[in-house]
A and B are shown apart, each in its own frame.
Chain A
Amino acid sequence: MALTALTSKWSGSVPAVWAVWDVWDENSPDRIIKPVAGDRVFRWITTVCAAAIPVLMAGLVCVMVFNSHLALKKFGLGFLTSTAWNPITQEYGALSSIFGTGVSTLIAMLIAMPMGLAVALFLVEWAPPKLEAFFGTAIELLAAVPSIIYGMWGLFVFAPFMADHVQPLLGRYLGFLPLFKGPPMGIGMLTTGIILALMILPFISSVSRDVFKMVPSVLKESAYGLGATNWEVTKGVILPYALHGIIGAGFLGLGRALGETMAVTFVIGNSHRLSASLFETGNSIASTLANEFTEASEPLYLHALVALGLVLFLITVTSQIAAQLWLRHIIKKAGGK
């Protein structure tokens, strides 16, 4: 659906119907017809429904702030930099959760971004049309599979696979790096990152595919006509042309990875600690919430968890706003051309 949103936003031309439609504006000096009663009611109802959305958002922010004020007051900004998480001594800090969210998302993006682009390129430029339709549909269906299924698969199938085959190999050849130290347990940061990558891959590749398809074939053909190879056309024509859209696709995947709960909770191991090794267990903001929320009996514990939620909310909203502004920037540019 994001693709339609992305593309529909691009056609920013003002339709002819505008002139007639302007009569909706009751204060418009151009108004020629008095709106009938039915129109007024219709307008009123739809406006109220539309207003429900900002109201919902404002309510969400207020409720979250109100339910985390104990923790915010007690720990202040230190909440963000403390690694303590102890319900018994009532000490709470968000750092290990933020670290886990950041690391798992980073691994996911590092894998999914190049792979998503490669898949999209393969589909648009090299695959025969029938194969493209088949692969395209399969990858988009992958996007519809609920995240808990990835979690199940990750815990029971993929984590043992990592422990038996991938991690010993990495440990043997790259074990001198602090990243790959420790026992191969299967669960942990690396496995989480890979599963997140598989989850966001369909989003990135399907949006990129749409963007690549919008590159005018005249441009590509002229490059081919000059004797460029497939890869040279890709590097010199397609990627620069599609760059803005690709960054949009990246933001989409980023948003998904940051807030993903179930797939992460199953495989990250859920321990409050910072570790340089990707084999070690850890936690993310979402996994901490999923695990501990129903156990929080003390008010301060609960408020600390909601504060953690607020941090995640701010991170995702910031990335969303950046994405929105970015898209708006592209639309303006496209409109200006």
Chain B
Amino acid sequence: MQSCSLKTRKAIDQSVRVIASLSAVIGLFAIVWILLTVTGRGIGALNLKFFTEVPTPPGIPGGGLINAIVGTVIMTIIAAVFSLPIGLLAGTYLAEIGKETRFAEVVRFVTNILIGVPSIIVGIFIYALLVVPMRGFSGYAGAVALAVIMLPIVVRTTEDMLNLVPDSLRESALALGASRWQVTLNVVFRSAKRGLLTGVLLAVARVSGETAPLLFTALNSAYWFSSLKEPLANLTVTIFNYAMSPYQDWQQKAWGASLLITVGVLFLTITARLIMKRQGKQL
């Protein structure tokens, strides 16, 4: 370093700066390219029929994907109903009760590993656990698969958010004679509620775009929702099937569904970030 002249050092500095800026520009370019493609190709498919009609048979133009939209919403809601209570309570255990016990350490470790398990593995797990014994693909199986993916995410964000609550709050409430469950529910949860809401929204956003775990659990269906024991139509598997099909009309619908899911997921993510930002200002 010392042997270089000032000129070379400055030149190196400039070139690194150019490379770094270029990388950032390429990264930004990629997102703009992807979003523009999805919007440009998808917007044409989104008409009233798309949101009101069920799919037509292969090769016949027309129809819509209302069944898949409803299916995705139903499965996401059921997954949330399963995993939110368990996840919130487990996260509460880690942040408030277990803390640094051996058991809490194990749970924390396993949670982090479970977050990293590929979602297609969860699909196989639920296939073997539910689809085989129930003798068929079903909306239930799809919802459970999504719940399994959501659970560890909820646990970890809950723990992180509760850890942000200052201990002085807990101490004051305890000193006033509140019992610990009252402290947790009325003081800790209340002051962490924006953070918890953010975590929940991010978890919902994450699973609503999942495809792999639904491929062999909920499968897909061309019909209107009838029962959760039947294969359930959903947007993401529809995208996969339609994109791989030879029909122009179906490919166009796949782009429409892609646009819908992207807008939905980004909306949830941005909402979550805004909520968190306001929390930051309040504290």
Assess the B30–A122 pair: CB atoms within 8 A.
Answer: no
Q: How far is the CA of A43 from the CA of B33 in the complex (A)?
A: 50
Assess the B239–A152 pair: CB atoms within 8 A.
Answer: yes
Assess the B38–A152 pair: CB atoms within 8 A.
Answer: yes
Assess the B97–A47 pair: CB atoms within 8 A.
Answer: yes
Instruction: Say yes or no: A261-B125 contact (C-beta < 8 A), given A47-B97, A141-B269.
Output: no
B245 to chain A, nearest CB (A): 12
Provide the residues of chain A in CB contact with B96, threshold 8 Å. 21, 46
Assess the B97–A306 pair: CB atoms within 8 A.
Answer: no
Q: Which B residues from 26 to 82 make CB contacts under 8 A with A?
A: 26-28, 30-31, 33-34, 37-38, 41
Instruction: Say yes or no: A262-B240 contact (C-beta < 8 A), given A24-B180, A46-B97.
Output: yes
Assess the B113–A313 pair: CB atoms within 8 A.
Answer: no
Main SS class of interface, A: helix
- Contact pattern, A 144-168, Cβ under 8 Å of B = 1, otherwise 0: 1111111111011100000000000
Assess the B215–A36 pair: CB atoms within 8 A.
Answer: no
A64 within 8 A of B: yes
Specify which of A1, A42, A141, A290 is in contact with B266 (CB 8 Å cutoff). Answer: A141
Provide the residues of chain A in CB contact with B28, threshold 8 Å. 135, 138-139
A123 within 8 A of B: yes
A242 to chain B, nearest CB (A): 15
Q: How far is the CA of A290 from the CA of B255 in the complex (A)?
A: 20
Assess the A122–B23 pair: CB atoms within 8 A.
Answer: yes
Assess the A262–B211 pair: CB atoms within 8 A.
Answer: yes
Q: How far is the CA of A324 from the CA of B51 in the complex (A)?
A: 45
Provide the residues of chain A in CB contact with B258, threshold 8 Å. 148-149, 152
Q: How far is the CA of A265 from the CA of B118 in the complex (A)?
A: 14
B122's closest neighbor in chain A, by CB?
Answer: A60
Assess the B157–A1 pair: CB atoms within 8 A.
Answer: yes
- Contact pattern, A 177-215, Cβ under 8 Å of B = 1, otherwise 0: 000000000000000000000100110010000000000
Provide the residues of chain B in CB contact with A122, threshold 8 Å. 17, 20-21, 23-24
Assess the A145–B265 pair: CB atoms within 8 A.
Answer: yes
Interface size class of A (residues with CB under 8 A): 35 or more
Assess the A38–B236 pair: CB atoms within 8 A.
Answer: no
With an 8 Å Cβ cutoff, the count of chain B residues facing the other chain is 104
Q: How far is the CA of A247 from the CA of B154 in the complex (A)?
A: 25
Assess the B124–A119 pair: CB atoms within 8 A.
Answer: no
Provide the residues of chain B in CB contact with A21, threshold 8 Å. 96, 99, 170, 180
Tell which of B33, B99, B125, B262 has the most Cβ of chain A within 10 Å: B125
A8 within 8 A of B: yes
Specify which of B26, B113, B121, B212 is in contact with A115 (CB 8 Å cutoff). Answer: B26
Provide the residues of chain A in CB contact with B33, threshold 8 Å. 153, 157
Assess the A49–B86 pair: CB atoms within 8 A.
Answer: yes
B197 within 8 A of A: no
A110 within 8 A of B: no
A217 within 8 A of B: no
Assess the A149–B24 pair: CB atoms within 8 A.
Answer: no
B62 to chain A, nearest CB (A): 22
Provide the residues of chain B in CB contact with A52, threshold 8 Å. 86, 90, 151
Given contacts A57-B110, A138-B28, 7 further A-B contacts (CB under 8 A): A8-B160, A50-B98, A141-B31, A141-B266, A145-B209, A312-B118, A313-B118
Which A residues lie at the B interface, using CB under 8 A? 1, 4-5, 8, 15-18, 20-21, 23-24, 35-36, 38-39, 41-43, 45-47, 49-54, 56-57, 59-60, 63-64, 66-67, 114-115, 118-119, 121-123, 126-127, 135, 137-139, 141-142, 144-153, 155-157, 198, 201-202, 205, 229-232, 234, 236, 255, 258-262, 265-266, 286, 289-290, 293-294, 305-306, 309, 312-313, 316-317, 319-321, 323-324
Can you identify 6 A-B contacts, CB atoms within 8 angstroms? A41-B181, A46-B96, A119-B27, A144-B269, A230-B17, A324-B112
Which B residues lie at the A interface, using CB under 8 A? 1, 9-10, 12-13, 16-17, 19-24, 26-28, 30-31, 33-34, 37-38, 41, 85-87, 89-90, 92-94, 96-99, 103-104, 106-107, 109-114, 116-125, 127-129, 148, 151-153, 155-157, 160, 163-164, 167, 170-171, 174, 179-182, 184, 199, 202, 205-206, 208-212, 215-216, 219, 236, 239-240, 243, 251, 254-255, 258, 261-262, 265-266, 269-270, 273
